[in-house]
Every structure is written in structure tokens, then in C-alpha cells.
Structure 1
Amino acid sequence: MKAIVRTDAAYPALLKETAKPPETLFVRGQSFYNQNPDAPIVAIVGTRRPTAYGREIAFTLARDLALRGAVIVSGLALGIDAAAHRGALEGGGVTWAVLGSGIENIQPTYNRKLAEDILKGNGSIISEYPGTTAAAAWTFPARNRIIAGLSHAVIIVEAAMRSGSLITARLALEANREVGAVPGEVSSVQSIGTHALLREGAALIRDAHDVLELVGREVPQEEKVDKFDGIAQNILHSLNAPKTINEIAFTLKYDIGFLQEHLTSLEMEGAVENRGGVFYKTI
């Protein structure tokens, strides 16, 4: 374990830019000091009581970002946080867990094994509190400012209206960081907070590509196309030059009505644009 003060060269520059950076950070694990300076740092946070959908999205998003070199930050809480940490480990990447308790007091106790796995997987455990300091109601909102401050972007996956994750999103905005939210089921109470963020202008996040674009990282052209199903990929590959719907249908031997349905979906995804009856690929 090491202690880093604000005047140390190892103190994170992003965190130092925030309004109230902690005077001291206690850190276990080497990746905090040795990370690639060009790696995007992405926080993924959300409810402690996720749906199966939310847990899967958080895991997959973190895994796919880790596979592309991103550092995943979260709070080691039950639910979305734990899923994000596990996803990052599955992707062979680095993940940082920011505690609301002392650096030697892993809370919740249920996630102590996960904390061990993070350290074994070249991740780091971080806290502004020394030793075995107990967590309190106020330490978790304070912890959230560190999560936001360490990151280039904060992504919310499922959050009720009165959620600590929304505090993290607000703190990220105050620190001039990007904020994204994953849409959920319209009838789910766990999606009320994320949908409110989307209405207020948060970036809509569907996959790792959306996150990388949000933080200004270039996504390889083939990866942009590969995320679509086979029919959509065929259409996109056919648009190596702008074409009318009749020209696409002739090239691919698709029925016009069938093709129109898929072109409409691709337009909604932002992958295709119809300009006066001529279709252009936009990714």
C-alpha cells in the first residue's frame, strides 16, 4: 500500500483538475502508477439492485472496453459496480475500485474476493481513507467525486431516481467530464434515473463503440460495421459508394420492401443517411 499526496508526481492529473480533490490517496496495486497514459479511463456505475439486463450490459460493456485498452473505474459496490469490475477482468484489462471505507476495510464484505481478484489481475484498490476506517453515509457521495474525477467519462447503467450514481453523473458534469447512460426498459424503476439523464442530454450508450467515440477515441471502420447483423453488414458493405434503394436491391438481390425496413433501422442507428433518395454510409 502506498500513500500519494496532491503534490506527488504520481497523483492523477485528471483528479487534480476537480474542485475538491482529496489531499491523500491510499492505493493498493501497481496499475494505478503504471497505466498507459493514452488509455481512456471510463467509470461504469449504477444500482446495487440491477435487473439481469443491467448486470449483463455492465459486464459486457466493461469487458469490451477493457479488450480495447480502457481502464474501468467503479466503486466495488454490489450490482452494477461489481459486474463492471468482473467484466474488465474478463477482458484481461485494468480496473480500479474506489472505496467509501478505509483502504484496508473492503466493503461490502461480500466483494472481498472480488477485491482480491482485482489486485491479482493488475488492478488497484483506492481510497482517501486510511487503514480500517469505517464507511458512513457521507463517505459514499464523497467517494463518488473520486470516481468521476479519475475518469474521462462516466457511464450510468441502471439507476433509480434517488441514486448515488446520479450524484456521480452530476459530479462528472461539474468536472467537465463526459456522461453517458444506457437506456433500459421504460417500465423499469431501475431505469428512471438513466432515462432522466438521457432526456437531459447525456450521451446514449449502446456498446463500447459509443463510449470510445464519446471520449474521442477512433473506432476502426470494420469494428463499426461488425457490430451489426449479417443483413445490415451486407447493406453497409454495398454502400462503398452512394446508391439508390433500387441499386442496392439490384446489388444484393433483396426485395425492396425488405430492404426498406433494414435501411430505416440503419438510419435510426445513424449508420446510413438518405439524401434525396440516395443512401450514404455514415460510419
Structure 2
Amino acid sequence: MNFSTFGIESNEYPPLLREIGSAPMLLHVRGALPDPTLPAVAVVGTRKATRDGKELARKTAHELADAGVIVVSGLAMGIDTEAHKGALEAGGITIAVLGNGIGSVYPAQNEKLAAEILSHGGAIISEYGSDEPSYKGRFIERNRIISGLCLGVIVIEAPEKSGAISTARFAAEQGRGVFVFPASPHNKNYKGSHELIRDGATLVTNVGEVLEDLGLKKSHKLEDQMKELSGDEYKIVSVLKDAGTPIDIDTIIELTTLEPQVASNIIMTLVVEGIIKEGSTGYEISNS
């Protein structure tokens, strides 16, 4: 198995990772490290993810990759796996950080996924050599590398004792952004997530909020914007998109079957967000 090894003083060593106080002296890499000027964000969470959590992780990673962001995670089952897959589906680059030696993939079920990461221009990274055994504590240690490679960490579904919590803690210590998707207070899979929010992490409901907070450019493609709309917002934008010409508010209400006050409030929000605009004859898509 071919891999490269870079010392902390090497030009190839990731600059952001070098900044952290506990940066590994050696980094073993399979594949190619991406351009260090490209932004990277981690997506992490529980191995025992729910279906909704998995869908959110994949969608989040897909949207990050669409915005030109490298997605970093730990190749574990659950949220990590979905994050890598979402980035790959978007044609983006993703990096997997191992808690075991660079010579093997853990868990073995993700060997195919690891191969796809490499074939799509990504990288698999470990601070441990090919012959080094894995220990339980090393999976916590590697989390500092996940956060250290990134501008911020997004936490999806973190129970009280999830390893994702340690990644978030490392990110906070490193001065990186910590972003958390919330859920019902009765959902045990989010107990750790809610504790992070209580402790000062940023609550987010979509990728756009993460990109804005990190000062990264959000995609202005209408298709990408529509992915983040609520159901009623989507109805209005779809009607305007299909029309291709300005439509007055009465026609919008008729075509969407929304209550007048609801439609009016949503239209105002969409105008403020720059997704639609008002002209002399009605409303239309801003980039039409």
C-alpha cells in the first residue's frame, strides 16, 4: 500500500493543522492532500445515527462540496460515512482521518468508500504508521486532527458521550468554529449536541448559515438555493421559476394555494434574501 509521509516542517504539511498545539510531528497520507487555500469543514456525529441524521449529514456534505468546501470526517459508520458519501455525490473532495495505522481501513466495511475517496482526488490521513496497532483512545486523539484541518466543525446527532463531542471540544480549543444542528430536547441522539449549544456552540439550521459565519461564499445557483428552502418557500419559487415572467401576488396565492398572509410573509423573506425580486408587473426570480 502506497502512502507518503510528511514532517511538520514539510511544505506539504497542512498549514492549518500545523497551527494547533498538539499537531502530529508526522502525517501519513494516502492519495493527494488538497490545495491548502481551499476551505475545509468537518462533518461529524454518532456511529449509531438515525435515518434522519444520516440524510442530514449527506445533504450537509453535499451542499458544502457544492460550495467548493472540502469535507473532512473520520470514516466511521453512521454520520461520518454519510458525510463522505455526500461530498462524493456532489463531485467534491473529502478527507478521511483514521484513528488506526495508515496501512488499513477501519471499519473494514468502508474499504470501498475509502477507495472512492482516493479515486475522486481525496485523501486518507493518519498520524500512525502502517504497522502500528489501533487502540480505543487513538480514535479520540485523531479527532484533534479532524478539527485541526478545518475552519469549522459541524456536529450532527451527538449523544452525550459521542466522540463527536471531543471533536467539537478540540475545535473550540483550536479557535475553530463549532456548529450544531438541533433537534427535539427529548431526542437522546442529540443530548450532546444540545449541551454543546448550551456551552456556546453556534446553532445552525442550514449550510448557508455555516458558510456565512465562516466568511465563505455561498452558491448563487438557483438550484442550490432551492435546496435550502422550506416547503412553502419552495412552492413560491417553483411557481415563479416555471412562469418565467413576473407574476402578481394574487396569482402566486392562487397557484400555490397558500393563505394570503402566509404567502405575503414568505415573499417578503425571499425578497430580503435576494432570491426573488419585485418589478413593476409582479415578482420574479432574481437571476432571471
Same fold (TM over 0.5): yes
Offset, 1:27: 0.2
Distance 2:250 2:179 in 1: 40
AA in 1 matched with 2:123: S
Q: Secondary structure at the match of 1:15?
A: helix
Offset, 1:231: 4.9
1:136 is the counterpart of 2:160: no
Distance 2:79 2:232 in 1: 33
Structure 1 contact 105–132 (Cα < 8 Å) conserved: no
Question: Hey, what does 1:232 align to over in structure 2?
Answer: 233
Q: Secondary structure at the match of 1:214?
A: helix
Aligned positions, number: 259
Change (3 A) 1:263 1:171: farther
1:199 is the counterpart of 2:198: yes
Distance 1:63 1:262 in 2: 29
Q: Secondary structure at the match of 1:138?
A: helix
Offset, 1:123: 1.1
Structure 2 contact 104–130 (Cα < 8 Å) conserved: yes
1:160 is the counterpart of 2:159: yes
Question: Hey, what does 2:261 align to over in structure 1?
Answer: 260
Q: Secondary structure at the match of 2:54?
A: helix
Offset, 1:264: 6.1
Distance 1:225 1:25 in 2: 37
Q: Secondary structure at the match of 2:24?
A: coil
Question: Hey, what does 1:10 align to over in structure 2?
Answer: 12
> Structure 1 stretch 73-82 or stretch 257-266: which is displaced more?
257-266
Distance 1:220 1:98 in 2: 27
Offset, 1:202: 1.9
Structure 1 contact 105–134 (Cα < 8 Å) conserved: no
Change (3 A) 1:149 1:230: closer
The two structures have a TM-score, normalised by structure 1, of 0.82
Structure 2 contact 95–125 (Cα < 8 Å) conserved: yes
Structure 1 residues not aligned, in runs of 5+? 237-247, 273-279
**CA shift digits 1:199-236 (9 cap, x unpaired):** 33322233332222122112255658533257536879
The two structures have a TM-score, normalised by structure 2, of 0.80
Distance 1:253 1:92 in 2: 38
Q: CA RMSD in A?
A: 2.7
Change (3 A) 1:26 1:197: same
Distance 1:151 1:52 in 2: 26
Offset, 1:133: 1.6
Question: Hey, what does 1:69 align to over in structure 2?
Answer: 68
Question: Hey, what does 2:277 align to over in structure 1?
Answer: none
Percent identity for Structure 1 against Structure 2: 38
Distance 1:220 1:59 in 2: 18
